[in-house]
Chain A
Amino acid sequence: MASLKRSAPEDSSPELSPPSKLPREASPVRLDEPVACLHDVSYPSGYAPPRRSRPATDKPSPPAREFPFELDPFQSEAIKCLDCGESVMVSAHTSAGKTVVALYAIAMSLRDHQRVIYTSPIKALSNQKYREFKEEFGDVGLMTGDVTIEPNASCLVMTTEIWRSMQYKGSEVMREVAWVIFDEVHYMRDRERGVVWEESIVMAPKNSRFVFLSATVPNAKEFADWVAKVHQQPCHIVYTDYRPTPLQHYIFPSGGNGLYLAVDEKGKFREDSFQKALNALVPAEGENKRDNGKWLKGLLAGKPREDSDIFKLVKMIIQRQYDPVIIFSFSKRECEFLAMQMAKLDLNEEDEKVNIETIFWSAMDILSDDDKKLPQVSNMLPLLKRGIGVHHSGLLPILKEVIEILFQEGLIKCLFATETFSIGLNMPAKTVVFTNVRKFDGDKFRWISSGEYIQMSGRAGRRGIDQRGICILMVDEKMEPSTAKLMLKGSADSLNSAFHLSYNMLLNQMRCEDGDPEQLLRNSFYQFQSDRALPDLEKQLKELKLERDSMVIEEEDSLKDYYNLLQQYRSLKNDVRGIVLSPKYCLPFLQPGRLARIQLVHDDKMPSFSSEERVTWGVILNFERIKGSADDRRPEDANYTVDLLARCHASKEGGMKKSIKIVPLSERGEPVVVSLPLSQVDSLSSIRLFIPKDLLPLEARENTLKKVSEVLSRFAKDGVPLLDPEEDMKVQSNSYKKAVRRIEALESLFDRHEIRNSPLIEQKLKVLHAKQELTARIKLVKKAMQSSTALAFKDELKARKRVLRRLGYITSEDVVELKGKVACEISTADELILTELMFSGILKDINLEEMVALLSCFVWQEKLQDAPKPRESLDLLYSQLQEIARRVANIQLDCKVQIDVENFVNSFRPDVMEAVYSWAKGSKFYEIMEIAQVFEGSLIRAIRRLEEVLQQLILASKSIGEVELESKFEDAVAKIKRDIVFAASLYL
């Protein structure tokens, strides 16, 4: 990028940059330590480093904090940057010890009486960090959606969402914060929440400095360049993919008995051993094992005679003393099922059991007696006592925390967890097991990406305890060595922007005088990345142009003329064919035995240019309507396929798929019955053959085709008689007649064209065609360039503003109106629908419990398969909500915002309305758990979010001056905020 000075040493002039900041590859501190890290700096364009006239004699100020251990090179490198007072992006594995950098930044700020903000993506992580920092520094506060502790402390731990809303509101913290620490900043690629990071980084105070902690990302430099550009300050990058404990990767083939080393600790892929592992894979003896969705049944081995794979594996791990172990699976239910398989195992000694019991019950002490009796609570203890734990988002938050604590204490030897366990606090194990190599990502099963693999396997190996970490991959199907290599040894996922617009963002930006949504867009990482792509596109364009210009064709003009004529002719022919062979006309003629001319599919993409087309003949056997297209359509509008007998060449590709290609009759091939879409039939002849009833034997088919050849040779002289469109098929449309007349005209033009007779016309046309294609590609590239020079999202921004105007949220001059102000306050649920709901008066009409139940639709996103419908009064409310949602969605559609109306309407789920209703009524938690068949943890999370929404609604109703509604919301908060749902975190 031109505006950014590349920070390679040669072009940053030495007198400009102080030597300490010269980008360089940090030399390893100790020679025996093979740990190196990359250090680089991004400078904003035109940046002149401030001359700090600190004399050399001046003692360097003492470090803000000393650590009792020797720092790794990347840590000391990053800390050096902090000491210079410059931003730094640290990209390293989870276990590498990035927290040290954060700790140093906090210590530094506290020393200088500055504020420091620490943000993390997850509330639980914030809680844990709060505890960690509190013990360390004392002057620490916490702000999450749930709790606020000491908001005036110098070091504030918060979720990124809170930090963003503080910035919008212009909290005083903004003027005091010198350092902002973004932990797990790679969350920025999260489809839903990633945009929050971009907003917060763009809006951050001009004079503050940043510490970004991220997992390993290959494009850390790009990110730093962006920060440097947006904030006009240098940003360092410290990158290392060093692991304190090396990893060994094993494969455990399902049904097999042993482990096979796939990648050793030096990172070498063992091909032979990998193959052995795959050979040991016992072919699924079940019927449903091949089916990915049901593989679980196989794994669980519903057969009592044999232990399940997972049981065997865990036993092996324990025997080999590879514990503690974390076993990752990709769904909550699976986690629990697998844990239940361990019923026979007992991994703990008696004294450990006593310990666990004490810890467990002292943690559960804050629960009421009723809540202690919850099945999840009472079922968990026996499991834990045996040293087995489960950790996923469906657990009660308090249980999750107890399990984390027990795991950290080493009292849990075997933990079944979902992916969420792989982010955040340092909770390593010796071994990590992946129960599956495929993951369901919303619509299909796919291989785990190498980035995900890196993140999860990062939990293996405890620093200072284990010599090496062990990763075990349970494989239940054949996989190519290349796939495995890619997964096990691939690079980390790169950090890409997931920027998108939201109404709340726009309104908040428009509300303040300085705010300008366009400015935000211009500064987004998304825009930055697409700007980056520009030089590439330019290069591409240049090359394409060069290639095009190098093609020289004689008599190009007349050739082009001819070419155009040909194209026209072809498209007209196609039109005619389309009319004649539309189901309306041709269906009656698709009788079995009729000869049909078939277009051949060219695989070389290069169309031939003789006016003769490549065709062959086949015999129609049957035709069928394509299912799936709406059934209520009239028969003539539906799509059809035709079954034809033709000579085909079957080739095998990749061992799996057979591809069948129709070939001309004279060529070699087998007679095969194929289904073709109607569009591939060229024309129908008036001849029908008698076909044998049974075409199963090969000879019968062969004979039929022979007959076809005979017929063809008989008519060789004047062509096979075709069905006449007008006389036989009664095609009587004007467009048909017109097209036929034009074809005739064109044909006469062809004859007059002199170039037609020139030799090599075929080749010339091909070259010309290639040239034309190039031109088309150039056009495409130009278009892509245009769209990336233009402001990304510009059209969407316009469309969304139109929506806001239509709904009366802003005026035509972009001044935020009353409704807009209400929507500004709402950030944790759909702001438009909630505002509309409020202004429609529905919330005021209904009683408190109903209102809470209705609002639960905004916070519940999981889709339950067979959730019972809520009672009538609630269902009525729900349909009112849907009505509003549909109206708003349609307005958005009208304003050209891309939206799937029905999807949007159905994104509000009524599934927990009943449960929340009775929770607001004052039911016990175990009672509402009987109503809703959902995970305890999910429901708790929903209710907590609901409380957040209510708080925002209180503010909103305050701003419109509706006192009754305000007090109603306040009452609602009081009603739902109780007991186990809002039990304080153990970390606080």
Chain B
Amino acid sequence: MTTMQRELRLSLNQTQRVRLQSALQQLEEMTSLASAITVVADTIPVNHEDSILKGHGTSDLNGEVVATLCGVVERVNKLVYVRAQRARYKPEVGDIIVGRVIEVAPKRWRLEINFSQDAVLMLSSMNLPDGLQRRRTAVDELNMRSIFVENDVICAEVRGFQHDGSLHLQARSQKYGKLERGMLLTVPAYLVKRRKQHFHHLENYGVDLILGSNGFIWVGEHVDMNGENHILADQVSREDMADKSCVGQVTQEVHERITPLEIRTHICRVANSVRVLSALGFNLTVEVIVDTVEASISLNTDIKDILAAEFYVQTAEREVQRRVSLSRKKG
């Protein structure tokens, strides 16, 4: 627990400290850490009579299986692997991630995604702004900066590792791509668990929430995607306007619109809730985040006070209650 308090860097008064400590204590008791935790070079006990499969984070040393990572030993049938406790993000095919463009390179953008290497988004791995299905030309390559430039925040899907070991991303549909009018938060990647959905539209607040598996979280104004019709209509209108550089116009129009104050406050509130939860080391799911936001509203907590000591303690206590009720349900 000391680590957590160190990270929190909060000025708690005496009662708050006691409350927080007891809440965290309770949480710790509830989570059974029975599964074996190893450190690097620990021998992982296996039954050598069976054949075993050595997965990630393991290695063979003098006939013994040893861990090469600190973490939890996981077993699936005969496969043994170590899941790192707090590591950088480790991409898997199909993950939804949020990243920041750090370089525009030939036919590709390089993105920082909190992985041990930069990810690559190929020009060919995303839909062209005109929505046409065609080969990428040199002109497209020259116009890459009109799509993304350095420091843009992008949402994409992990496509896989290429043969040279580089990580490639893709933007399957229109809902991937540049993210604007919002905040990017970075949390430890392990707090975001893989779910069926990573895109969330918080309708009550008019806010989009994207929980990137890499620990980058986007909170921004809701963009109406309205499916394919939107794109089709777009395409048609563009065809109408023929070659008049309509793309520029459209983007300009967008820029002229201003996010209303209300939405901006909502964005901040959601963002701060995420900050609290991540500082406390709780898993970030949309339910928990919405719950926290609602609590902050019902408690009349100011946006800035969400990050204050009292709300931290309350959030921790609420989490205790939530887990208690969960375990009761199960029991």
List chain A positions with a Cβ less than 8 A from chain B. Answer: 50-53, 112-115, 154, 169-170, 172, 175-178, 205-208, 232, 510-514, 808, 813-816, 818-819, 821, 836, 838-842, 844-845, 958-965
Contact = CB atoms under 8 A, between A and B. Distances in A.
A818 B53 CA distance: 13
B228 A960 contact: no
Given A114-B135, A960-B53, A813 B124 contact: no
A960 B55 contact: yes
B131 A207 contact: yes
Given A169-B159, A176-B136, A962 B54 contact: yes
Contacts of B105: none
Query: Interface centre among B53, B76, B124, B157, by most A CB within 10 Å?
Result: B53
A951 to B, nearest CB: 13
A206 B234 CA distance: 14
29 contacts: A50-B236, A52-B239, A112-B134, A113-B135, A169-B159, A170-B159, A170-B172, A172-B124, A172-B125, A175-B124, A175-B128, A176-B133, A178-B133, A208-B133, A232-B228, A512-B94, A512-B157, A513-B197, A813-B196, A819-B77, A836-B77, A839-B53, A839-B79, A841-B51, A841-B52, A841-B78, A844-B53, A960-B81, A962-B79
Nearest to B239: A50
B122 interface: yes
A819 B79 CA distance: 10
B161 to A, nearest CB: 8
A814 B196 contact: yes
Given A207-B235, A814-B196, A176 B135 contact: yes
B160 interface: yes
B31 interface: no
Contacts of B92: 821, 959
Interface in B123-180: 124-128, 131-137, 157, 159-161, 170, 172-173
A902 B110 CA distance: 53
B133 A511 contact: no
Contacts of B173: 514
B240 A53 contact: yes
B240 A51 contact: yes
B93 interface: yes
B269 interface: no
A854 to B, nearest CB: 14
A232 B231 CA distance: 13
A463 B124 CA distance: 44
A840 B157 contact: no
Given A114-B134, A844-B52, A962-B55, 4 more contacts: A114-B135, A819-B77, A821-B93, A960-B55
A587 B232 CA distance: 79
Given A50-B239, A175-B125, A840 B77 contact: yes
B172 A512 contact: yes
A621 to B, nearest CB: 64
B205 interface: no
A206 B94 CA distance: 20
Interface string B179-206: 0000000000000001111110000000
Given A172-B124, A207-B235, A840-B78, A511 B228 contact: no
Interface in B33-67: 50-57, 60
Contacts of A845: 51
Interface in B77-107: 77-79, 81, 92-94, 96
B55 A113 contact: no
B195 A176 contact: no
A232 B194 CA distance: 33
Contact of A960 (B56, B135, B196, B235): B56
B94 A513 contact: yes
A453 to B, nearest CB: 40
Contacts of B240: 51, 53
Contacts of A52: 239
Contacts of A178: 132-134
Interface residues of B, number: 51
Interface string B308-320: 0000000000000
Nearest to A115: B135
B236 A511 contact: no
Contacts of A115: 133-135
B76 A819 contact: yes
A813 B195 contact: yes
A221 B241 CA distance: 35
A511 B93 contact: yes
Contact of A177 (B54, B133, B195, B196): B133
A808 B76 contact: yes
Contacts of A514: 172-173
A813 to B, nearest CB: 6
- The 3 A-B pairs with the shortest beta carbon distances in the complex, nearest first, are A841-B78, A961-B56, A172-B124
B94 A841 contact: no
Nearest to A511: B94
Contacts of B94: 511-513, 816
Contacts of A808: 76
Contacts of B228: 206, 232
A841 B133 contact: no
Given A113-B134, A170-B159, A960-B79, A815 B239 contact: no
B134 A176 contact: yes
A814 B197 CA distance: 10
Contacts of B55: 960-962
A175 B159 CA distance: 14
A808 B78 CA distance: 13
Nearest to B196: A814
A816 B95 CA distance: 11
A291 B201 CA distance: 70
A510 B197 CA distance: 11
Given A170-B159, A172-B122, A176-B136, A815 B194 contact: yes
Contacts of B239: 50, 52
Contact of A513 (B122, B127, B157, B159): B157
Nearest to B169: A170
A207 B132 contact: yes
Nearest to A208: B133
A514 B170 CA distance: 13
B133 A175 contact: yes
A524 to B, nearest CB: 19
B138 to A, nearest CB: 11
A204 to B, nearest CB: 10
Nearest to A512: B94
A512 B50 CA distance: 35
A717 to B, nearest CB: 78
Nearest to A53: B240
Contacts of B199: 513
Contacts of A844: 51-53, 78
A115 to B, nearest CB: 6
B266 to A, nearest CB: 24
Nearest to B198: A513
Nearest to A824: B93
Nearest to A46: B229
Contacts of A841: 50-53, 77-79
A232 B228 CA distance: 10
Nearest to A508: B94
Contact of A839 (B78, B126, B197, B232): B78
Contacts of B160: 169
Contacts of A175: 124-128, 133
A328 to B, nearest CB: 41
Contacts of B78: 839-841, 844
Nearest to B127: A175
B329 to A, nearest CB: 14
A959 B133 contact: no
Contacts of B76: 808, 818-819, 839
Contacts of B197: 513
Contacts of A964: 54, 60
Contacts of B51: 841-842, 844-845
Contacts of B57: 961
Contact of B133 (A207, A821, A836): A207
